[in-house]
Amino acid sequence: MIEAARERLPGTALVTGASRGIGAAVARRLARDGAIVAVHFHRARGEAEAVAADCLSLGAPAAFAVQADVRSGASVAELKVRLEERGVVPDVVVHSAGTAHYGLLEDLEEAEWDDLHQVHLKAAYWLAKHFGPAMSWRRRGRIVHVSSVWGVVGSAGEVAYSAVKGGLNSFTKALARELAGVGVTVNAVAPGVVDTDMLRELAPEEREELLAEMPLGRFARPEEIADLVRFLVSEEAGYVTGQVIGLTGGWRI
């Protein structure tokens, strides 16, 4: 079924961190366009399987949950093998998995710093290393990283998060240059404040303060980020590469 479906699809997509938030919204959006979707998760199997079921109901000819720890090269390599066993070689990789840390740098433990680096930046390296070559050989592919406005302007109280997202932005630009000659595009989206579980970790008064700063009077919806990702993986975006595109509603620009 997957081999037959690929002939009429815009592509097959691996979306990391797709059990919730932006990743889940991206998976559903690509499913609406008829893509085969691999819904990656680390620990939240039940949530990922629910997202995969949503993708099937939205029109994906195939969608399934797949586990991996993207911080580990061995785990990402195993993920590649398991996808190939299903007949899936992704044309699209969207790296949305991530965690956050709020607090002063002096209170940040080294293990927390290392974890942020691994899940945001090193994971992007592992994904490109394991899935990029097949895209290069076929001379087509799309890689999209979900970054953050903090990777562009920085944030007090989120120094480590800002640093790894800034690194991800530079990685995006450099990898785009490296892969441009083989027809693979690499871009990043840099949202501002998005209404996800990560935002809900803030205290109510902190959320109210943030909301008061929003020029449009609201936070971004995950579906709005997904719409931009959908464009970047489309044929229409074939000349767009090496870009870090802000989606902030006019905030922090």
Q: Provide the pLDDT for residue 9.
A: 39
> Phi, psi at residue 43, to the nearest 5°?
-120, -25
Q: Provide the pLDDT for residue 1.
A: 46
Cβ contact 36:9 at 8 Å: yes
In order along its 253 residues, the chain shows pLDDT tens digits of: 455 444 333 589 999 999 999 999 999 999 999 999 999 999 999 999 999 999 999 999 999 999 999 999 999 999 999 999 999 999 999 999 999 878 889 999 999 999 999 999 999 999 999 999 999 999 999 999 999 999 999 999 899 999 999 999 999 999 999 999 999 999 999 999 999 877 777 788 988 998 999 999 999 999 999 999 999 999 999 999 999 999 999 998 6
Which of 6, 12, 18 has its CA nearest to residue 226?
Answer: 18
In this predicted model, what pLDDT tens digit does every residue of 52-106 receive, in sequence order?
Answer: 999 999 999 999 999 999 999 999 999 999 999 999 999 999 999 999 878 889 9
Which of 234, 134, 113, 240 has its CA nearest to residue 188?
Answer: 240
Which of 99, 85, 102 has its CA nearest to residue 43?
Answer: 99
The tokens for 201 are 């970790």
In eight-state DSSP terms, residue 220 is B
Q: Provide the pLDDT for residue 73.
A: 97
Q: Provide the pLDDT for residue 8.
A: 36
Global pTM?
0.93
The C-alpha atoms of residue 157 and residue 152 are separated, in whole angstroms, by 15
Q: What is the dihedral of CA 25, 26, 29, 34, to 10 degrees?
A: -140
Name the one residue in this structure whose structure tokens are 């480590």: 160
Tell me the catalytic residues.
161
Each as own residue / partner, the long-range contacts of residues 231-239 (CB below 8 Å, 24 or more positions apart, any chain) are: 232/142, 232/144, 232/185, 232/187, 232/189, 233/10, 233/11, 233/13, 233/30, 233/92, 233/94, 233/142, 233/144, 234/10, 235/10, 237/142, 237/185, 237/187, 238/185
For each of the domains in the chain, give its residue range(s) and CATH number, in order of start. 2-247 (3.40.50.720)
The tokens for 62 are 């195939």
For the beta sheet containing 63-67, the strands, ordered from the edge strand earlier in sequence to the opposite edge, are 63-67, 36-41, 12-16, 92-95, 141-146, 184-191, 244-247
Which of 126, 138, 57 has its CA nearest to residue 90?
Answer: 138
